[in-house]
Chains A and B, each alone.
Chain A
Amino acid sequence: MVDYIQIAWQGLVSGFAYALIGLALVMVYKTARILNFAAGTMAGISGFLAHWWAAEQDMPFGVAILFAMIMTGAGTYVVERLTVRPLVKLGDFLPIVIMTLGVEEFLANVSLLWWGGTARRYRVPGDIDRINWLIGDFRLNAWHLVVAITTFVTLSIVGYIINQTELGLGMKAFAEDQDAAKLMGIKESTVSIWTWVLSALVGGVTGIVFAPVLFLQQDYMNIIFIKGFVAAILGGFLSLSGGVAGGLLLGELEAFTIKWAPREFAAALPVVIVFIVLLIRPHGLFTREKGHERV
């Protein structure tokens, strides 16, 4: 029994990463109808920045993270204005998506130049990522607990912004009907840029909090990005909560696949899931098919 709880917890922790990246992807897609292929690499750079400021510039751990988050937000602001905004006017989906791929390539190479290709350990105060508590036979890693709390807090903040602030209302209005939202006086470019920034901050939190788990490597967030993408597809790509649920589900599926099937199969699992979901429920597991408009 404890065995299963252990596996479920493990799946949940990985699931948190997929859920957060899935959320970040859905957010931008839902409001701006843009797929951001740079989301993973951007999140990875946040992790590197936090590490760099703490380990190489001797900043306190928390301050380094704060700086990394500010840089993430500011950097995303600039990236959106420079690369995405000029293309939005063309009104076409594909050029923007290709542009995000270009941004991804660029950022990946910049980070490779700066930090090199070797893996580093992201040190946390007191090395608490190496502390394991035994509760009966259940093994709880202290940092995993931090991951869980961080995820919960991040989701709560995003939920608050979406449901209680004017920005959130604008995001929802845009997601539902772009033209109608414009006619209500909501500035498209304002909503779009803050959605990008919010999404990048969620990605940044993920990149930082998972750095001790994954080891910092130039492309350490790529695999999380792919799985976050799968999470978003599971959730139908248009539902924020669906993306989160999809991430958690994927984490569990993966954990239990490793238990019962060869490890190699677990690596293929996300692709298999996407295949099945697109075949059977292309609108996602958690969203209803769009009904007919009511007259």
Chain B
Amino acid sequence: MSGLSINNLKVGYGRNEVIHGVDIKVGAGEKVALLGANGAGKSTVLKTISGLLTPTEGSITFNGEEIGGSNPAALVEMGVIQVPEGRRVFPGLNVEDNLKVANYGKSPDLFEEGLEAVYNKFPILKERRKQAAGLLSGGQQQMLSLSRAIIAKPRLLLIDEMSLGLAPLLVKEFYEQLGDLFSEDVTLLLVEQNAGLALKYCSRFYVLRNGELVLQSDSSDYIDDPTALQSAYLGVDA
């Protein structure tokens, strides 16, 4: 099957299991959100898909190929690209070097192309291309983090909590821009706490609580009243 398919995924840190058997499907080109409160295990799921963590059980396939437990570099080569939580730009490297890192091991010609696309979309990054990324504002750092993903040419894009530490208005802008930044056929799994934003952009969603899926549904069922998800987030009747 094409797209991303996660079956009975279990992940832990040491002996501490934090993901207790999760099933997620994202069809090719589909945009899906993974929602949940702080500490629900959303980031752990993403880190496992991108190879930073190894599953203890279960399988992860992308376009039919088993990718669970692969090393991150091999996954990047396959087009599995993660925009990490908290942006994680390299603070001491300048903007252009940050982008260059996203092209690691690939041809410089491709990089020039990607760079032009990025600078067209975010002219401020071009203005600041020689500045250390640590000196950028939070919003600019998020631009840079997204730009690295643009350069990496994702087939499966994993975005971890864009809203973290950014002004709500800014976050809204980023979500509105997403469709513009990445091609339509990129498969997307997006982690978010802020359900309202994510539902507008994604067609389906899952809710994770304490390492287990507690709800999955079409966004349209909740888009008018995202607060109705609160009980799913928290496990109480809100």
Are B84 and A169 touching (Cβ within 8 A)?
A: no
Is A148 an interface residue, CB under 8 A from the partner? no
Is A264 an interface residue, CB under 8 A from the partner? no
State which residues 270-295 of A face B: CB under 8 Å: 293-295
Counting chain B residues whose Cβ lies within 8 A of the other chain, the interface size class is 20 to 34
Is A173 an interface residue, CB under 8 A from the partner? yes
A173-B90, A179-B52, A294-B134 as given contacts; A185 in contact with B104, CB under 8 Å: yes
CA distance A148 to B138 in the complex (A): 45
State which residues 173-215 of A face B: CB under 8 Å: 173, 176-177, 179-188
Counting chain A residues whose Cβ lies within 8 A of the other chain, the interface size class is 20 to 34
Question: Total contacts A to B, CB within 8 angstroms?
Answer: 77
A294-B134, A294-B138, A295-B138 as given contacts; A182 in contact with B104, CB under 8 Å: no
State which residues 84-132 of B face A: CB under 8 Å: 84, 86, 88-93, 97, 100-102, 104-105
Is B189 an interface residue, CB under 8 A from the partner? no
Nearest CB in chain A: distance from B8 CB, A: 25
Is A127 an interface residue, CB under 8 A from the partner? no
Is B51 an interface residue, CB under 8 A from the partner? yes
Is B72 an interface residue, CB under 8 A from the partner? yes
Are B76 and A177 touching (Cβ within 8 A)?
A: no
Are B93 and A182 touching (Cβ within 8 A)?
A: no
Could you give 20 example pairs across A and B, Cβ below 8 Å? A169-B100, A169-B101, A170-B101, A173-B104, A176-B90, A182-B51, A182-B72, A182-B73, A183-B81, A183-B84, A184-B102, A185-B72, A185-B152, A186-B73, A186-B101, A187-B73, A188-B73, A294-B134, A295-B138, A295-B165
Are A185 and B88 touching (Cβ within 8 A)?
A: no
**9 tightest A-B CB contacts, nearest first:** A185-B76, A180-B88, A182-B72, A295-B165, A176-B90, A187-B73, A184-B101, A173-B101, A185-B73
Question: A170 contacts which chain B residues (CB < 8 A)?
Answer: 101, 104
Most chain A CB neighbours (cut-off 10 Å) among B77, B88, B134, B138? B88
Are A186 and B52 touching (Cβ within 8 A)?
A: no
Q: C-beta contact mask, A18-39 vs B, less than 8 Å → 1, else 0?
A: 0000000000000000000000
Are B90 and A180 touching (Cβ within 8 A)?
A: yes
CA distance A182 to B50 in the complex (A): 9
Are B138 and A172 touching (Cβ within 8 A)?
A: no
A179-B88, A182-B51 as given contacts; A187 in contact with B102, CB under 8 Å: no
> Residue A177 contacts which of B81, B88, B141, B165 (CB distance < 8 angstroms)?
B88
CB-nearest residue of chain B to A186 = B104
Question: A105 contacts which chain B residues (CB < 8 A)?
Answer: none
A182-B73, A185-B104 as given contacts; A172 in contact with B90, CB under 8 Å: yes
Nearest CB in chain A: distance from B168 CB, A: 14
> Residue B71 contacts which of A172, A176, A184, A187 (CB distance < 8 angstroms)?
A187
Q: Which B residues contact A (CB, under 8 angstroms)?
A: 50-52, 71-73, 76-77, 81-82, 84, 86, 88-93, 97, 100-102, 104-105, 134-138, 141, 148, 152, 165
Question: A181 contacts which chain B residues (CB < 8 A)?
Answer: 90, 101
Are A169 and B97 touching (Cβ within 8 A)?
A: yes
Question: B105 contacts which chain A residues (CB < 8 A)?
Answer: 166, 185-187
Nearest CB in chain B: distance from A61 CB, A: 39
Are B138 and A182 touching (Cβ within 8 A)?
A: no
Question: B52 contacts which chain A residues (CB < 8 A)?
Answer: 179, 182-183
CA distance A181 to B51 in the complex (A): 12
CA distance A217 to B67 in the complex (A): 53
Question: A185 contacts which chain B residues (CB < 8 A)?
Answer: 72-73, 76-77, 102, 104-105, 152
A182-B73, A185-B76, A294-B134 as given contacts; A172 in contact with B92, CB under 8 Å: yes
CA distance A27 to B77 in the complex (A): 27
CA distance A157 to B138 in the complex (A): 36
CA distance A176 to B97 in the complex (A): 13
Nearest CB in chain A: distance from B33 CB, A: 20
Question: A187 contacts which chain B residues (CB < 8 A)?
Answer: 71, 73, 105
List 20 other contacts, CB 8 Å, given A169-B101, A184-B102: A172-B90, A172-B92, A176-B91, A177-B90, A179-B84, A180-B84, A180-B88, A182-B51, A183-B52, A185-B72, A185-B76, A185-B102, A185-B104, A185-B105, A186-B73, A186-B104, A187-B71, A294-B135, A294-B138, A295-B138
CB-nearest residue of chain A to B108 = A166
Question: B76 contacts which chain A residues (CB < 8 A)?
Answer: 183-185
Nearest CB in chain B: distance from A291 CB, A: 8
CB-nearest residue of chain A to B52 = A179
Question: A180 contacts which chain B residues (CB < 8 A)?
Answer: 84, 88-90
